[in-house]
Amino acid sequence: MLENYFPVLLFMVVGLLVGVAPMALGKTVSMLLGTNRPDPEKLSPYECGFEAFEDARMQFDVRYYLVAILFILFDLEVAFLLPWAAVIKDVGFPGFVAMMVFLGILVVGFVYEWMKGALEWE
């Protein structure tokens, strides 16, 4: 009965090898062939494009979050519109109405972003 699970075990072993072996091999090759020239600029932390000169809890512009919302808005739109457009003939009128409701919600989010000034770059 255990021989029935051999393909599953083989699949798991090959998956681990494909996932772990390139990382281990790359790390080994980079340690052997690469150069190690650290300087303060390379070792400094980089987060969100802000220079780390104050406390991590410092306040910054709310437009950062508005741009993130805008990205999610358009990302969702593309992620749902492309498959829907591919099967538009199969889903019929109910699918069309559902997508129009979805697009209406996205338009409300877009208008919110517009009114808050997230689309105006300085």
- Contact present, 73 and 106 (Cβ < 8 Å): yes
Report the percentage of the chain scoring pLDDT > 70.
87
Written as one letter, the residue type at 43 is L
Note the pLDDT tens digit of each residue in 21-58. 999 998 888 888 888 888 887 777 666 655 656 666 76
Residues in the chain: 122
pLDDT recorded at residue 36: 81
Residue 61 has a CB neighbour count (10 Å cut-off) of 9
How much is the pLDDT for 115?
Answer: 86
For residue 44, the tally of other CB atoms under 10 A from its CB is: 9
Check residue 51 and give its pLDDT: 60
- Count of CA atoms in the C-beta half-sphere (13 A) of 37: 3
Residues 6+ apart with CB under 8 A from 98: 91
Q: Is 50 helix (H, G, I), strand (E, B) or coil?
A: strand
More confident residue, 62 or 16: 16
Packing angle between helix 63-86 and helix 88-116, nearest 10 degrees? Answer: 170
